[in-house]
């Protein structure tokens, strides 16, 4: 009987001890977070920044050493109304590393949107948001903040110090999103007369290449925009430049579909092989693809631009030409009873 009572006591006590230890661990973790994240990176000296990097590493190491116990604690800390803004940004990266679930990524998108842009590496912010855009997240609010940011600029050392300005960064963000999300967000910006990114948004709208975006463009009063964008808008709506299909395609539809589906699966080799074999392969693409292939082409274009570099922009332009050729019909904008105000 004594043995049974002892075993019963152990069964009851051990979980209680585990819970107490977890609470203590969480409490220690939150204490470390509060002691570490009490600064703005943009206000630190180089020496102070180095010290804070080392302190943040301790937070990350502690969480990664006990992810099962500390993941709920990390989530709670991120959701706290009193959480430090920089912690929300950095902590959301830790959250996604420990648990790359849609729920974690949604937290990351929210905190990437709200962070003080003076405090972050803009390249990291743009590239991360673009990846989330390809995964179906609406990152348009973050794009709006980028277009409102007066210092929206960074350089890509690996690409000859290529300068990413407001337009390119916005293209990486909005281009990575599903057009059904991006188009209304861009139209909202275009409709705001005092928005600093208004013309950039209109340029991106010109490349959406969907029936919905083209019909929306027909209603835009472009009189306040530059002559260059007005001219491009008129050309797009009246006689867009389309790709002439090759009479005798050198690449089959099946080959293109395999290459595009490979990109979706993270395998780019065959696509780059086709680009190398037939540099003007877009003439074959529009010759052999069918209307039902357009959603795949759009998905590939989103994945391409999410690479967020100058090569991605060039490929994006090529895919835009393909999509416009697939979408455009002479009567596409006819029958719209609303008068054009271009």
Domain that holds residue 297: 253-327
Q: Within a domain: residue 159?
A: yes
Would 342 be classed as within a structural domain?
A: no
In the chain, the number of structural domains is: 3
The model's pTM: 0.90
Q: Quick one: pLDDT at residue 2?
A: 61
d(CA 324, CA 214): 10
Structural domain includes residue 93:
yes
Mean pLDDT lowest among 89-103, 183-197, 276-290, 325-339: 325-339
Residue 13 included in any domain:
no
Is it the case that residue 213 has pLDDT exceeding 60? yes
CB 189 within 8 A of CB 201: yes
Angstrom distance (rounded) from CA 176 to CA 171: 8
Distance CA 340, CA 342 (A): 6
| 334 — pLDDT class (breaks 50, 70, 90) | confident
Q: Is it the case that residue 328 has pLDDT exceeding 90? A: yes
My answer on whether 232 and 127 are in the same domain is yes
pLDDT at 33: 97
Note whether 211 and 329 are within 8 A (CB).
no
Tell whether 100 and 49 lie within a shared domain. yes
Band (pLDDT 50/70/90 cuts) for residue 112 is very high
4 within domain boundaries: no
Report the C-alpha gap between 235 and 241 in whole angstroms.
8
In this structure, the answer to whether residues 132 and 214 fall within a common structural domain is yes
Residue 248: inside a domain: no
Which of 52, 87, 120 is the last residue before a domain boundary? 120
Question: 158-208, pLDDT tens digit by residue?
Answer: 999 999 999 999 999 999 999 999 999 999 999 999 999 999 999 999 999
Note the residue count of the chain: 342
* Domain shared by 234 and 150, yes or no: yes
What integer pLDDT is reported at residue 179 of this predicted model? 97
Domain assignment present for 57 = yes
Give residue-wise pLDDT tens across range 5-43: 555 545 555 454 444 455 668 999 999 999 999 999 999
Inside any domain, residue 8: no
User: Which among 78, 97, 120 is the end of a domain?
Assistant: 120
């Amino acid at each position: 009987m004594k043995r049974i009572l002892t075993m019963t006591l152990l069964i009851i006590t051990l979980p209680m001890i585990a819970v107490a230890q977890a609470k203590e661990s969480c409490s220690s973790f939150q204490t470390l977070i509060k002691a570490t994240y009490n600064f703005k990176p943009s206000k630190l000296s180089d020496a102070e920044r180095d010290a804070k990097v080392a302190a943040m590493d301790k937070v990350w190491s502690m969480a990664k050493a006990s992810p099962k116990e500390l993941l709920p604690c990390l989530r709670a800390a991120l959701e706290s109304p009193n959480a430090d803004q920089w912690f929300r940004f950095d902590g959301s990266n830790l959250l996604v590393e420990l648990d790359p679930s849609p729920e974690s990524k949604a937290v990351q998108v929210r905190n990437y949107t709200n962070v003080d842009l003076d405090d972050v590496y803009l390249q990291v912010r743009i590239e991360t948001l673009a990846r989330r855009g390809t995964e179906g997240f609406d990152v348009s609010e973050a794009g709006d903040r980028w277009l409102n940011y007066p210092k929206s600029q960074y350089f890509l050392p690996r690409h000859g110090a290529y300068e990413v300005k407001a337009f390119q960064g916005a293209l990486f963000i909005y281009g990575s999103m599903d057009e059904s999300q991006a188009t209304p967000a861009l139209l909202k910006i275009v409709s705001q007369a005092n928005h600093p990114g208004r013309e950039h948004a209109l340029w991106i709208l010109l490349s959406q290449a969907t029936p919905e975006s083209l019909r929306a463009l027909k209603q835009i009063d472009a009189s306040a925009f530059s002559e260059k964008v007005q001219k491009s808008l008129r050309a797009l709506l009246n006689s867009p430049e389309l790709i002439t299909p090759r009479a005798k395609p050198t690449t089959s539809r099946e080959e293109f579909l395999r290459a595009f589906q490979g990109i979706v699966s993270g395998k780019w080799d065959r696509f780059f092989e086709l680009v190398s074999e037939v540099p003007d392969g877009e003439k074959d693409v529009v010759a052999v693809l069918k209307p039902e292939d357009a959603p795949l082409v759009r998905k590939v274009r989103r994945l391409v631009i999410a690479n967020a570099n100058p090569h991605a922009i060039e490929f994006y332009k090529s895919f835009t030409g393909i999509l416009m050729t697939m979408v455009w019909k002479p009567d596409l904008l006819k029958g719209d009873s609303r008068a054009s105000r271009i």
